[in-house]
C-alpha cells in the first residue's frame, strides 16, 4: 500500500494552484500543473512571482514537468520569473510549457529560454507559445538557447502567429542544427510571414540531424515561395534515417510544378514508412 501511495504522489496532476503549493513538493518526480485564466486573470505575473518561485526550489527530484498557463496575461516579466525559477529543477528530462495566448513578446521568450543551457539531462522539450508576438529576434534567440541541450531527443515547438520572419526561422533552425541527438522534430510555424527578402532564403537544413526519424513541419499561410521548395527538397534528402514525415504547406501560392517536385522528392525517400503532405 505504501509503495502505491508513493507512486501516486510521484505522478501528480493539479488544476488548482493552492493544492499544488500545499503538497509534498520534494516528493514529486512527475508533475502536471494546469492553470487556467480564472486562476491568474489580470495578475498572471504576480501569481508566478509569489507562488511558483518558492515552490520549484523545493521540487528537486522532478524528472518530468508539464506546466500550462495559457490565457493568463503573462508578460515578459512572468516569463522571466518562470525561466529563472525552473533553473532550480536540474534533473529534468522532460519539460513541457504551454504559454499560448499571453503577452510574453520577444524579451519574454528570451527570458524564458536563457537558462535552457542548465538542463544537461533534458531529453524532451515541448514549448507552445502561439500568439505571443515573439518576432524574428525572439525565435532566433530561442533556437540559440535550445542548441545547448545536447542530449535532446524530441522537440516540439508551436510558434504560429508570432510575426516571425525568414531571419527568425533561419536563426531558429541554426540553433536546432547543434542538437545532433534529435530523433523527432515537430515545428508549427504557420501564419508567420516568410517572404524572401533580397538574397535571404528560407532554410530548413536537417543534415546535422543524423538520428532524425520523425519530422513534422507546418508552414500554412506563410507566403513561402517556389525557391524554398527547391532548397527544401535538396535538404530533405539528407535526412537518411527519416521514417515518418508530415508536411503542411496549405494556403500558400505554390505552383503545381513545385508541388510535384516535392512529392517526387518524398517518394525517393525509401525508408519512409509514413508520410502526409498537405
Q: Are 192 and 223 in contact (CB under 8 A)?
A: no
Assign domain 1-142+160-170 to its CATH architecture: Alpha-Beta Horseshoe (3.80)
How high is the mean pLDDT in each 10-residue block of the chain (278 residues)?
Answer: 48 87 91 74 62 81 93 85 84 95 94 92 97 96 96 98 95 94 97 79 83 96 90 90 96 94 94 94
∠ CA 63-65-70, nearest 5°, is 170
Which residues are within 8 A (CB) of 48 and not within 5 positions of it... i.e. 6 or more apart? 69, 74, 78, 81, 82
Per-residue confidence (pLDDT) for residue 44, from 0 to 100: 60
Per-residue confidence (pLDDT) for residue 265, from 0 to 100: 95
- Write the secondary structure of the chain as one string of H (helix), E (strand) and C (coil): CHHHHHHHHHEEEECCHHHHHCCCHHHCCEEEEECCHHHHHHHHHHHHHHHHHHHHCCCCCCCEEEEECCCCCCEHHHHHHHHHHHCCCCCCCEEEEECCCCECHHHHHHHHHCCHHHCCCCCEEEEECCCCCCHHHHHHHHHHHHCCCCCCCEEEEECCCCCCCHHHHHHHHHHHCCCCCCCEEEEECCCCCCCCECCECCCCCCCCCCCCCEEEEECCCCCCCHHHHHHHHHHHCCCCCCCEEEEECCCCCCCHHHHHHHHHHHHCCCCCCEEEEC
* Residue closest to 124 by CA, chosen among 24, 54, 30: 30
Say how far apart CA 82 and CA 269 lie, in whole Å: 42
Per-residue confidence (pLDDT) for residue 46, from 0 to 100: 65
Delimit the domains of the chain by residue range. Answer: 1-142+160-170
Per-residue confidence (pLDDT) for residue 6, from 0 to 100: 46
CA 188, 204, 169, 110 dihedral sign is positive
Per-residue confidence (pLDDT) for residue 5, from 0 to 100: 47
Is residue 185 left, alpha or beta, with left meaning phi > 0 and alpha meaning psi from -120 to 50?
Answer: beta
Per-residue confidence (pLDDT) for residue 72, from 0 to 100: 81
Per-residue confidence (pLDDT) for residue 52, from 0 to 100: 74
Tens digit of each residue's pLDDT (9 = 90 or more) over 200-256: 788 888 877 889 999 999 999 999 988 899 989 998 988 889 999 999 999 999 999
* Residue closest to 74 by CA, chosen among 86, 64, 82: 82
Amino acid at each position: 500500500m505504501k509503495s502505491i501511495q508513493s507512486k501516486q504522489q510521484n505522478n501528480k496532476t493539479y488544476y488548482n494552484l493552492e493544492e499544488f503549493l500545499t503538497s509534498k513538493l520534494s516528493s514529486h518526480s512527475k508533475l502536471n500543473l494546469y492553470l487556467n485564466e480564472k486562476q491568474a486573470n489580470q495578475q498572471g505575473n504576480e501569481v508566478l512571482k509569489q507562488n511558483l518561485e518558492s515552490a520549484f526550489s523545493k521540487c528537486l527530484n522532478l524528472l518530468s514537468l508539464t506546466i500550462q498557463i495559457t490565457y493568463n496575461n503573462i508578460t515578459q516579466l512572468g516569463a522571466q520569473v518562470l525561466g529563472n525559477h525552473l533553473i532550480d529543477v536540474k534533473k529534468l528530462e522532460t519539460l513541457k510549457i504551454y504559454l499560448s495566448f499571453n503577452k510574453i513578446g520577444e524579451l519574454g521568450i528570451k527570458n524564458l529560454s536563457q537558462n535552457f543551457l542548465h538542463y544537461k539531462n533534458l531529453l524532451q522539450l515541448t514549448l507552445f507559445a502561439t500568439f505571443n508576438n515573439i518576432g524574428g529576434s525572439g525565435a532566433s534567440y530561442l533556437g540559440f538557447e535550445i542548441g545547448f541541450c545536447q542530449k535532446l531527443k524530441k522537440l516540439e515547438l508551436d510558434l504560429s502567429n508570432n510575426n516571425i520572419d525568414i531571419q527568425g526561422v533561419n536563426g531558429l533552425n541554426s540553433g536546432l542544427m547543434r542538437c545532433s541527438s534529435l530523433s523527432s522534430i515537430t515545428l508549427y510555424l504557420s501564419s508567420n510571414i516568410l517572404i524572401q527578402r533580397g538574397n535571404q532564403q528560407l532554410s530548413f537544413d536537417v543534415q546535422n540531424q543524423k538520428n532524425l526519424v520523425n519530422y513534422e513541419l507546418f508552414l500554412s499561410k506563410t507566403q513561402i515561395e517556389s525557391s524554398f521548395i527547391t532548397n527544401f527538397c535538396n535538404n530533405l534528402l539528407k535526412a537518411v534515417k527519416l521514417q515518418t514525415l508530415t508536411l503542411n504547406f496549405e494556403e500558400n501560392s505554390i505552383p503545381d510544378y513545385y508541388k510535384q517536385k516535392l512529392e517526387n522528392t518524398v517518394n525517393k525517400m525509401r525508408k519512409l514508412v509514413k508520410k502526409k503532405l498537405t
